[in-house]
Structure 1
């Protein structure tokens, strides 16, 4: 990215590299350049940020971090404890973040009475996308229950189509599984599962039900095994080769980048059993403490990222929703509008993603994903055995915290 004339340039490390993500970043960069801030892009490809986090950690250990980095959830709070991120209390106060942003957003970016990152948008993980033209052709109702999903899968198979876009990649399996935990166990149980100190909750029958449901979902396409990037699965849906796709709403941003329109070319529904609930992951940028003192420039970037115009520019492309409560939801597409209104609804269940670092640390989420991957790949492993393995992982995490 070219530097803005007479402005400051900040190196930004992130993993937004798909078509939809790139479109969102480009919009952000354009908005920032108008304000005299240049974004020097340091994007690292790789699903769920696995590769990017490795690069970022190596630079931090070498004492040469980027100015700004995509650091989220538990990783963010861990790094704040180590003094690696710049507090943004003054920025938040000037921008009236407490008054303008959703409480759950402020909770995620606050730690030990300090604001530690700039929030960009809120993703809804419990999203099921489906191909509208196929639904019209096969005369199907929106897939709001598992019976609806099974009926649709039967019709799609008869038409020679893949019912569910699917990948056996560990992080993608974990993404689907956590939506099933919420749907099969309910929000109260899920909240306990998301707390490492409540490891006993993983012995609940709801976890077993979610594992059974996961294997059922995996079997909708038959026995074909495939591990592919989530963008390939999104492309299958876009091209009408697959009828459904369970993925965070960043998949909506990807489809829009290719020219598809929500409500016309594809529809969105909450994963069955999770209507009215919001399983969230929040995009955040941390201002890193390095040898070069860039506090004023970093503060300026953080301040701009919270502004309404910046929020809309980014989230309308990304598939996520603005972190602000004063956005007009009419400016959002119908998929994003339901997500934003769920966040805004008093008393709605808002729960942190386990698979996307909102509630689990890096090693725990990786161990859970690996166990679920083994369960999917090895049909000799029973749901009961896998539940016992998940209990062991979480119990071990609770001991070291």
Structure 2
């Protein structure tokens, strides 16, 4: 009997050694793909490493080319420079309208064969598939869906003082006053232009509703910007800033998330990538922090979708690029990546019970047919880089110049966002 145990143990050892050897061989023979992206925070880095691990098992080496910088502006500049020099990366993080711009000039490899083999039309959310389809071609591999209209709160502070996560602005104001009375900042804040725009579009969705939001951000009707509901959103934006801070403050979003975790602030309005960052630091969405939607945005999903485009290159990489697209959209990589990134899978064959409470609500809202799914302008889903930056600058000036009236801000926004040929 002991002899049988010894034989079984030796067989297991040999098998484990064989598996390890095969893994090492796969690593040694993996074909490298140069991947340019801007995932550099703790959670983003972990999520990218998770993708690299899944790809390595499939014989694809993730050759990292991370470019730090808020919102990817620096990465896009590097990408343009590399293309002009004739040395484009094999893969680039291109999202929203930036993706279609690059596809329009023929620099993006179509992934129609991958989409057909992997049955993307049956597996992916229709909104996501439409986003990565341009002129009949699938032009990117979608990774995850972020929810922008997210309000994070510190569970420990709320439990300590018996506070209830706000579902309305009246409740928000009450909670804010109670936090301030305890010497805690009610809302983490930054005056970085893109962060101001992120908060504003969330407020606009709540005050204007999804139909008007689409007229403003997607159809970009100039006259719609003079609607009283836009004025109300601008006034609320100024109120929130005054509630959060008096002095100008510009800081990266991760620092605001750190303040929330350290109990220096009770709440934070930010996309759910902030949730991923909190989890990367060891915090739990069940124990340490929670998520609700920003007041007024129930049953709506203000989204941004992470995508990777395979670029046309003088290097013969098409087969490996297609393999990467297959791996990163498959269910195992989807679950692993999004769990770390804070986003949710782009697939509708996910078991929602496997998701944390914040992610489950985001995924179920996005999946529900009666929900309003609207694209973020601040994160390139609804407009190009130039319009996004122009809107953010108007909002920044409005908040930093107390003399500017909401009506003036409305007129300036109408001027910078108007689409060619749109209604005036």
TM-score (norm 1): 0.97
Q: Are 2:306 and 1:283 equivalent residues in the alignment?
A: yes
Counterpart Cα distance in 1 of 2:220 and 2:368: 29
User: Would the aligned equivalents of 2:395 and 2:409 in 1 still touch at CA under 8 Å?
Assistant: yes
User: Would the aligned equivalents of 1:196 and 1:398 in 2 still touch at CA under 8 Å?
Assistant: no
User: Would the aligned equivalents of 2:54 and 2:327 in 1 still touch at CA under 8 Å?
Assistant: no
Counterpart Cα distance in 1 of 2:414 and 2:250: 26
Counterpart Cα distance in 1 of 2:100 and 2:244: 40
Q: Give the number of equivalent residue pairs.
A: 399
Partner of 1:320 in structure 2? 343
1:376 alignment partner, one of 394, 399, 423: 399
Counterpart Cα distance in 2 of 1:375 and 1:39: 43
2:126 alignment partner, one of 83, 87, 103: 103
Q: Cα deviation per residue 1:150-172 (whole Å; 9 max; x = unaligned)?
A: 11111111111111000000000
Counterpart Cα distance in 2 of 1:283 and 1:222: 31
Q: Cα deviation per residue 1:166-187 (whole Å; 9 max; x = unaligned)?
A: 0000000000000011000000
Q: 1:278 is paired with a residue of what secondary structure?
A: strand
Q: 1:38 is paired with a residue of what secondary structure?
A: strand
Partner of 1:113 in structure 2? 136
Q: Are 2:212 and 1:189 equivalent residues in the alignment?
A: yes
Counterpart Cα distance in 2 of 1:196 and 1:169: 26
Partner of 1:202 in structure 2? 225
Give 1:243-322 correspondences, 5 Å limit: 243-322=266-345
Q: 1:227 is paired with a residue of what secondary structure?
A: coil
Give 1:33-52 correspondences, 5 Å limit: 33-52=56-75
User: Would the aligned equivalents of 2:92 and 2:308 in 1 still touch at CA under 8 Å?
Assistant: yes
User: Would the aligned equivalents of 2:187 and 2:266 in 1 still touch at CA under 8 Å?
Assistant: yes
2:181 alignment partner, one of 149, 153, 158: 158
Q: Are 2:395 and 1:389 equivalent residues in the alignment?
A: no
Q: 1:179 is paired with a residue of what secondary structure?
A: helix
Counterpart Cα distance in 1 of 2:341 and 2:222: 34
Q: 2:102 is paired with a residue of what secondary structure?
A: helix
User: Would the aligned equivalents of 2:202 and 2:302 in 1 still touch at CA under 8 Å?
Assistant: yes
Q: Are 2:165 and 1:142 equivalent residues in the alignment?
A: yes
Q: Are 2:382 and 1:363 equivalent residues in the alignment?
A: no
Q: Are 2:420 and 1:398 equivalent residues in the alignment?
A: yes
User: Would the aligned equivalents of 1:276 and 1:349 in 2 still touch at CA under 8 Å?
Assistant: yes
Counterpart Cα distance in 1 of 2:398 and 2:161: 33
Q: CA deviation at 1:331?
A: 1.1
Q: Cα deviation per residue 1:331-380 (whole Å; 9 max; x = unaligned)?
A: 11000000000011112100000000001100000000000011111111
Counterpart Cα distance in 1 of 2:107 and 2:421: 25
Q: CA deviation at 1:221?
A: 2.4
Q: CA deviation at 1:75?
A: 0.6
Partner of 2:10 in structure 1? none
TM-score (norm 2): 0.92
Counterpart Cα distance in 1 of 2:96 and 2:79: 15
User: Would the aligned equivalents of 1:167 and 1:233 in 2 still touch at CA under 8 Å?
Assistant: yes
Partner of 2:260 in structure 1? 237
Partner of 1:28 in structure 2? 51
Q: Cα deviation per residue 1:232-290 (whole Å; 9 max; x = unaligned)?
A: 00000011100000000000000000011112210100010001110000000000112
Q: CA deviation at 1:197?
A: 4.6
Between 1:81-90 and 1:152-161, the stretch displaced more is 152-161
1:350 alignment partner, one of 354, 373, 397: 373
Across the aligned residues of Structure 1 and Structure 2, the Cα RMSD in angstroms comes to 1.5
Q: CA deviation at 1:309?
A: 0.1
Q: 2:221 is paired with a residue of what secondary structure?
A: helix
Q: CA deviation at 1:4?
A: 2.4
Counterpart Cα distance in 2 of 1:222 and 1:237: 14
User: Would the aligned equivalents of 2:43 and 2:277 in 1 still touch at CA under 8 Å?
Assistant: yes
Q: Cα deviation per residue 1:166-216 (whole Å; 9 max; x = unaligned)?
A: 000000000000001100000000111122452322222221111011001
Q: CA deviation at 1:58?
A: 1.5
